[in-house]
A and B are shown apart, each in its own frame.
Chain A
Amino acid sequence: MYVAVKGGEKAIDSAHRLLAHQRRGDGTVAEISPAQIDNQLSLAVDRVMAEGSLYDRELAALAIKQARGDLIEAIFLVRAFRTTLPRFGTSEPIDSNAMAIRRRISATFKDLPGGQVLGPTFDYTHRLIDFALAAGVPPAAPDEAPAPADATMPRVTDLLGEEGLIEPEANSGDAVVGDLTREPLQFPADRDLRLQALARGDEGFLLALGYSTQRGFGRTHPFVGEVRIGEVAVEMVPAELGFAVPLGRVPITECQMVNQFHGSTEAPPQFTRGYGLVFGQSERKAMAMALVDRALRAGELGEETGAPAQDEEFVLSHCDNVQATGFVEHLKLPHYVDFQAELALVRMLRAEFAEQAAAERTERPAAEEKEAAE
C-alpha cells in the first residue's frame, strides 16, 4: 500500500461539486424555487428566520434550498450572512397588543374580549396522510370573516393585571437592550439576554427542556394565558427625524404563560409570567420558550432550583444549535495527532498492566513452593 501524502485540496473541490450535483437531484424533476419554498414550506422558512435571528423570507427560503432542506444548516447560512450586516440602530419595542391577529387562543378563559380565533392550525386535524395532496388537488377556498377580527383584542395578562393577580411586567425604561451577538454572554445574564438566547435557541432543545419542567424537573405550574399569531408593525426613530417611522410589518408568535406562585416574604401570592416570542408561526417554539423562561426565573422568585431547565448556565450555553452542531460535528475533523498521543499512552498502560500481571504470576508459584516446604 502507498500512503497518500497530498491531495486534500483536489478532494475538497470534488466533494463540493458532488454536493451541488446531489442538491439538484434528478434533473428530470422540476427544480424547486425559493418562492415555492417560501410559500409552500413557510413554517420551515419561519423556523430558519427565528433561529437565524434575521427576518428575511427570501433569504431563508434560498438558504433552505442551498442546505437541501437541512434546517440547522440553513439557519447557519442565515447567521453567517447576518453577522456581516451593518447595524443601523434599534427599533422601537413592538406592540403585540396592536397585532393584526391571525390566530389567538387562551386556555385560561372560555371566552374573553376579542374571542378565541383558531386561525390556520394543525391542532384538530387527524394526522392521516392526505393522498389527494400528492395529486395536487387545489384546496377549497377559505371562509372569510364578515368584518376584520375584533380590533380590541387585549392580552390576557393585561386582563389579569388589572386585578393585580399577575406580577407587573417590569418596564426597563430607556435601558439599552443587550445583544449577545455583539457582546459575549456572561453569567448571570439579565432577562433580556436570556430571552434573546432562547428566541435564537434550538426548537428541539427548548421543547425537551420545557417538557422536562412539566414532568417534574423544575415544575412551574403553567397555563397558556394566551398564544397569539399575527403581524405587528416595526417602527424606528431615526435620530435626524426624532419621531417613529414604520419600517414594515413582521409576523410573530407570542406566548404568555401564566404560572402559579405561592408568594414570598416580599411578594404576595400571585401569578407569574413566562414569555415566548418568535418570528413567524411557531407555537411549539414560543410555548417551549415561555416554559423555559419561567423555569429560569426560579432563583429570582426564591423557588427551589436544581433542575436542568432552571440552570441558566446549562440552558444558555447549550441552546444554540449552530454552536452545538459545529462542536459535535467537528469531531469529524482529523484528530490523529491527539489520538496518537492517546494510543501511545494506552499501549504503555497495557504493557505496564501485563508486566504487573506477569510479575504476580511468577510470585505466586514461588509463594506456594515456600508454603509446601513449610
Chain B
Amino acid sequence: MTTATASAGETGYNFAYLDEQTKRMIRRAILKAIAIPGYQVPFASREMPMPYGWGTGGVQVTASIIGPADVLKVIDQGSDDTTNAVSIRKFFARTAGVRTTSATEDATIVQTRHRIPETKLAADQIIVFQVPIPEPLRYLEPRETETRKLHALADYGLMHLKLYEDIARHGHIATTYDYPVEVAERYVMAPSPTPKFDNPKIDMCEALQLYGAGREKRIYAVPPHTPVKSLDFEDHPFTVQTFAKPCGLCGAEGSYLDEIVTDDRGGRMFVCSDTDFCGKRLAAGHRGADAARAEWT
C-alpha cells in the first residue's frame, strides 16, 4: 500500500479522512496484530463520521492502509449494494478519491461485514472485517479485565464448556455464526459475525485478514498462510452449513444462500448472498430455477 499526505476528494479533510498521525498509530497496531496472530491489540479508536456499530473499526483500518492506487470493494451481507456497503464505499470515494469495484478479483482491499467472498482471495489482497464484539469470550465472561487474563493464560475452558453444553443439550454445536476459531495454535479469536460457512476460508488464506472493532477499540489480524482451526471435538467435528437447493438465480451449488420471502403464502427463494459471485455466474450464462423472477434495476 502506498500512502499519501495530499488531500484528495473531499476538501478540508486529509486523504481518506484520518490525519496521518492517527493512521500511523493504527498501522502500528496493525503491525503488532500481524506479529501476534489472533491477539486483540488495543488502539486509540477515533470517533468517525458514521455511527459505532456500523463499521467504524473497519473504516479506520481501511483508511490507514489505503493509498491512491488501491481499488476498494465494500460488501455487507455479501452484497455490494446493501445500504451500509454503499455508504462506506461512497465515503472512501469521496474522501480518498480511490477507484471502487464490485468485482472481488479486481479489488486490492475488500472491506466486509458478515461475509467472506466466495471468490478465493489472492496474495496481493487485503480483507478488512468490521467487528462488533472482538472478544470471543465476551458472552461467557462480560469483564474485559477477566477475558484478557484468560487469553494470557490461554485458558479457553469456558469456550469448550459452552460448546460441550450445546452438544449435551442439542446433540450438536448450536453456534452458527461468529463461530470461534483458534489462530496459529494459540489465541482463540472471533471471526466476526460471518456464518460458520466462511470459517474454512480463513484457514491458510493467501490474503492478509485484518479485523477492526472501533467501538471496542481493538484490532486483530490473521497473516497470510496462517493455520486457523474452528473449535470442535474429535467425536463432533466442525461442519459448515449446507443448502438443500442451489441458488435460484445462478444455480450455484456450495455458495452461501440468503432466503427471500416472495409472498405471504410460504413462498421462498434461495439466492447467493455474494452478489458479485452470483452476477458473474449469470453473466456467464448460468441459470437457476427462479432466474426469471429477478428484477435488475
Residue B114 interfacial (CB < 8 Å): yes
Q: Is the CB of B295 within 8 A of A337?
A: no
A335 cross-chain contacts in B, Cβ below 8 A: 77, 114, 193
Contact status A330-B132, CB under 8 Å: yes
Of the stretches A79-87, A145-153, A241-249, A256-264, the one at the interface is A79-87
CA–CA, A84 and B195, complex, Å: 35
Select which of B215, B263, B296 is within 8 A of A327 by beta carbon. Answer: B215
Interface residues on A, range: 35 or more
Summarize B's interface: helix, strand, loop or mixed.
loop
**Chain B residues whose CB sits within 8 angstroms of the CB of A340 once the complex forms:** 195, 256-259, 273
Of A6-14, A21-29, A35-43, A272-280, the one contacting chain B is A6-14
Given A7-B81, A337-B115, check contact A313 B145 (CB 8 Å): yes
Stretch in B119-127, B155-163, B168-176, B204-212 touching the partner = B168-176
Bound together, the chains give a CA A349 to CA B53 distance in angstroms of 30
CB within 8 Å of B: which of A122-143? none
- With A79-B47, A184-B217, A313-B143: A330-B53 Cβ-Cβ less than 8 Å: yes
* Interface flag for B103 (CB, 8 Å): no
Q: Which residues of A contact B44 (CB under 8 A)?
A: 181-184
Q: How far is the CA of A7 from the CA of B256 in the complex (A)?
A: 22
Alpha-carbon separation in the docked complex, A313 to B135 (Å): 15
Contact partner, B171, options A337, A343, A352, Cβ 8 Å: A352
Residue from A80, A330, A337 in contact with B49 in the complex, judged by beta carbons closer than 8 Å? A80
Residue A32 at the B interface, CB < 8 A? no
Contact B293 A187 (CB under 8 A): no
Which of these, B47, B217, B271, B296, contacts A80 with CB under 8 Å? Answer: B47
CB distance from B43 to the nearest CB of A (A): 6
B-facing mask of A332-373, CB < 8 A → 1, else 0?
A: 011111101111110001001000000000000000000000
Which single residue of chain A is at the shortest CB-CB distance from B271?
A3
Is A187 a contact of B144 with CB atoms below 8 Å? yes
Does A329 make an interface contact (CB < 8 A)? yes
Q: Which of B231-255 contact A (CB under 8 A)?
A: 241
State which size class the interface on B falls in. Answer: 35 or more
Closest to B174 in A: A345
8 Å CB interface, A184-201 against B: 184-188
User: Contact at B47–A3, with CB atoms within 8 Å?
Assistant: no
* Closest-CB distance, B145 to chain A (whole angstroms): 5
Given contacts A83-B46, A187-B145, A340-B259, contact A5 B77 (CB under 8 A): no
Segment among B63-71, B82-90, B221-229 that sits at the interface with chain A: B82-90
- Bound-state Cα–Cα, A286 to B78, Å: 46
Minimum distance in angstroms from A187 CB to a CB of chain B: 5
Q: Which residue of A lies closest to B193 (CB)?
A: A338
Q: Does B45 contact A (CB under 8 A)?
A: yes
Complex: A234 Cα to B258 Cα, angstroms: 58
B residues less than 8 Å from A185 (CB atoms)? 217
Within B247-295, the residues touching A (CB, 8 Å) are 256-260, 262-263, 267, 269, 271, 273, 275, 293-295
Any chain B CB within 8 A of the CB of A176? Answer: no
Asked whether, in the complex, the Cβ of A8 is within 8 Å of the Cβ of B294, the reply is no
How far, in Å, is A266 (CB) from chain B's closest CB? 25
* Chain B residues with CB below 8 A from A183, complex form: 44
A selection of 30 A-B contacts at a CB cut-off of 8 Å is: A2-B295, A3-B294, A3-B295, A5-B81, A5-B296, A6-B81, A7-B81, A8-B81, A12-B87, A83-B48, A84-B17, A184-B43, A187-B145, A322-B47, A325-B51, A326-B53, A326-B54, A326-B215, A330-B53, A333-B83, A333-B84, A334-B77, A334-B84, A337-B115, A337-B194, A338-B176, A341-B177, A342-B176, A342-B177, A349-B170
Known: A9-B90, A337-B256, A342-B176. 13 other contacts (CB 8 A): A1-B263, A7-B297, A8-B81, A80-B48, A82-B47, A181-B46, A327-B132, A329-B53, A330-B132, A334-B77, A336-B273, A340-B195, A341-B196
- Footprint of A on B, CB under 8 Å? 13, 17, 19, 42-49, 51-54, 56, 76-78, 81-87, 90, 113-115, 132, 143-145, 170-171, 174, 176-178, 193-197, 215, 217, 241, 256-260, 262-263, 267, 269, 271, 273, 275, 293-297
